[in-house]
Amino acid sequence: MYFDNQFDIYPIGQQIYKKMFDQIENSLHYLLETCDSLESFRCLYDVNNSFSGLFTSIQDYLYDECPKKPIWSFGIGDKSSLLNLSLSLIHSINENQMPTITCLNEFDIYKLSLSIQHSLLSSTLTPDLLADHLCPMKKNFLNLFSKIPLNLNHKTLFNYLELNDLFQLNKPISCHYFIRGIEQKQLYNKELYNLNISTSSELISTYLREQYGTKMFISTNSSIEKYDNMSFITGLFNDDEYSFKFFDYLLTNMKKINYKTLSQRWQENDFDEQIFEQLMNNLNTLHEQYQLMNI
210-264 confidence digits (pLDDT tens):
554 443 444 444 433 333 444 444 443 334 454 455 445 545 554 554 444 444 4
pLDDT, position 140: 39
pLDDT interval class at 38 (50, 70, 90): confident
| Higher per-residue confidence, 44 vs 88 | 44
Q: Is the pLDDT of residue 270 over 70?
A: no
Question: Which pLDDT tens digit goes with each residue over 125-178?
Answer: 444 444 444 444 333 333 333 333 333 344 444 444 455 444 444 444 344 444
Q: Which residue type is seen at 231?
A: S
pLDDT, position 95: 41
Backbone angles phi, psi at 232, to 5 degrees: -145, 155
Cα distance between the two ends of the chain: 60
pLDDT interval class at 74 (50, 70, 90): confident
Cβ atoms of 106 and 97 within 8 Å: the answer is no
pLDDT, position 8: 74
Domain ranges of the chain: 10-77, 86-235, 240-293
User: Over pLDDT 90: what percentage of the chain?
Assistant: 2
Exposure string (b/e) for 152-189, b if CB count within 10 Å is 16 or more? eeeebbbebbeeeeeeebeebeebbbbbbbbebeebbe
pLDDT, position 171: 44
Cβ atoms of 285 and 292 within 8 Å: the answer is no
pTM for the structure as a whole: 0.32
pLDDT, position 75: 78
Residue by residue, DSSP assigns 109-135 as: -TTTT-GGGGG-B-----HHHHTTTSS
Q: Is the pLDDT of residue 121 over 70?
A: no
Task: Outline where DSSP puts E strands in the chain.
Answer: 41-46, 71-76, 175-179, 218-220, 231-235
